[in-house]
Amino acid sequence: MTDTVTDIGGTTAFVLAPDGPKLSTEQDAVDIIGQLWGQPVPLVVIPVERFADGVFDLRTTLLGHFTQKFIGYGKSLAIVGDLGEHLAGSEPLRAYVRESNRGSRIWFLDDVNQVAARLG
């Protein structure tokens, strides 16, 4: 599977393939956003599998810096997949996910179907 631009629930989205290069840094976020520069693509969907080890450990600050880039550049971000293992060991991550999901810009969801439902 390759990264692709597609329609999800009436919204144009850039969906990253689960088997691409691992993501972790602010620069990785900027690079993704840069690929979309000048295109009307308001949403990026990234599978959990694409993230490097340690990103979901909030002590590293990687996740916060990564997601902040999307907000700063006016893009929404949906991280999709099973975060169960990460959530089980971290109350701060559970709180971060809970608060993010209350908003309209950063979501942590199980799959693309939930993204479509959220957009509808």
Within a domain: residue 17? no
Does residue 40 come out as left (phi exceeding 0), alpha (psi in the -120 to 50 range) or beta?
Answer: beta
Domain-embedded: residue 1: no
The answer to the question of residue 60 being in a domain is yes
Instruction: Specify if 42 maps to a domain.
Output: yes
> Given a cut of 90, is residue 26 above it in pLDDT?
yes
Is residue 3 one of the residues assigned to a domain? no
Q: Decide if pLDDT at 1 tops 90.
A: no
Domain that holds residue 113: 23-81+90-119
94 in a domain, yes or no?
yes
Specify the pLDDT at position 58: 96
Sheet containing 106-109: order of strands: 4-8, 11-15, 43-47, 76-80, 106-109
Total structural domains within the chain: 1
- pTM of the entire structure? 0.96
H or E stretch at 45: strand 43-47
pLDDT in tens, 36-50: 999 999 999 999 999
Q: What is the pLDDT of residue 77?
A: 98
Q: What tokens were used for 115?
A: 């993204």
Residue 70 domain-assigned (yes or no): yes
Other C-beta atoms lying within 10 Å of the C-beta of residue 12:
14
For residue 111, tell me if it sits in a domain. Answer: yes
